[in-house]
């Protein structure tokens, strides 16, 4: 049995990546304040000090863990932008594609959890809304993008919470087509219906 070995490890294990992965999982599961550096270090099989060595403070770890393998704006520009007709379905399919990718979901979950913690409103108003939602609305060419995209968000976030945070079985059980059938009409209504 290996006694606790001090000093550098043999071979070239990518410890940094292990820490990042553990941090993503923890942040996704427990949010920012609910995640402890010691727990992350434990999951990665590593001393807490090493976490600080690679990423500085806890805040820095968080933004590092948030670095998405995907740029949401690129995904939206490629898969969603286009005519308003069918925009709801395209949005849903892009959303599901990204969220069901296990490499990306933890980071997204962490962001959603952060949205609910104190200061989350600022994150929404200062980040999510102007950076993602409104530009998307404008790219789709809808009128009153602020209002309509907030309506859209109110449905999308509900789906995300029930499917990925709270894991309500009926919503989890739906595949992409079922989700589109249920929600695309709603989103289309928010995008193009009467206000």
Partner DNA sequence: GACCGAATTCATCATGTGTTGAATAATGCG
Partner DNA sequence: CGCATTATTCAACACATGATGAATTCGGTC
Which one of 101, 138, 154, 175 is in contact with its own copies (CB under 8 A)? 154
Is position 192 an interface residue for its own copies (rule: CB under 8 A)?
no
Site for DNA in 32-61 (CB under 7 A): 35-39, 45-50, 52-53, 56-59
Nearest residue (CB) to its own copies, 77 versus 178: 178
Nearest residue (CB) to DNA, 29 versus 47: 47
Nearest residue (CB) to its own copies, 22 versus 159: 159
Site for DNA in 103-122 (CB under 7 A): none
Q: Which stretch binds its own copies (CB under 8 A): 15-23, 31-39, 75-83, 86-94?
A: 31-39
In the complex, the smallest distance separating the C-beta of residue 139 from DNA, rounded to whole angstroms, is 38
Is position 14 an interface residue for its own copies (rule: CB under 8 A)?
no
For residues 104 and 75, the answer to whether their CB atoms sit within 8 Å is no
For residues 83 and 144, the answer to whether their CB atoms sit within 8 Å is no
Nearest Cα residue to 72 out of 121, 132, 116? 132
Which one of 171, 180, 184, 191 is in contact with its own copies (CB under 8 A)? 171
Write each residue from 89 to 118 as x if it is in contact with its own copies (CB under 8 A), else as -, in one continuous string. Answer: ------------------------x-xxxx
Is position 27 an interface residue for its own copies (rule: CB under 8 A)?
no
CB neighbourhood size of 18 (10 A):
15
Is position 98 an interface residue for DNA (rule: CB under 7 A)?
no
Is position 147 an interface residue for its own copies (rule: CB under 8 A)?
yes
Q: H/E/C letters for each residue in the chain? A: CCCCCCCCCCCCCCHHHHHHHHHHHHHHHHCCCCCCHHHHHHHHCCCHHHHHHHCCCHHHHHHHHHCCCCCHHHHHHHHCCCCCCCHHHHHHHHHHHHHCCCCCHHHHHHHHHHHHCCCHHHHHHHHHHHHHHHHHHHHHCCCCHHHHHHHHHHHHHHHHHHHHHCCCHHHHHCCHHHHHHHHHHHHHHHHHCCC
Q: Which residues bind DNA (CB under 7 A)?
A: 4-13, 15-16, 35-39, 45-50, 52-53, 56-59
């Amino acid at each position: 049995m290996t006694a606790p070995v001090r000093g550098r490890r043999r071979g070239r294990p990518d410890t940094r990546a292990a820490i990042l992965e553990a941090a993503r999982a923890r942040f996704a599961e427990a949010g920012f304040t609910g995640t402890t550096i010691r727990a992350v270090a434990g999951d990665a099989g590593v001393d807490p000090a090493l976490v600080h060595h690679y990423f500085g403070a806890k805040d820095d770890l968080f933004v590092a863990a948030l670095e998405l393998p995907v740029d949401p704006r690129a995904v939206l520009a490629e898969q969603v932008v286009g005519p308003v007709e069918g925009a709801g379905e395209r949005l849903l399919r892009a959303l599901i594609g990204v969220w069901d990718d296990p490499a990306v979901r933890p980071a997204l979950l962490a962001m959603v959890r952060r949205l609910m913690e104190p200061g989350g409103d600022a994150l929404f108003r200062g980040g999510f809304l102007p950076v993602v939602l409104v530009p998307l609305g404008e790219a789709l060419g809808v009128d009153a993008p602020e209002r309509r995209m907030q309506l859209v968000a109110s449905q999308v976030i509900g789906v995300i919470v029930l499917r990925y945070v709270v894991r309500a079985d009926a919503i989890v059980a739906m595949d992409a087509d079922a989700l589109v059938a249920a929600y695309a009409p709603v989103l289309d209504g928010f995008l193009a219906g009467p206000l």
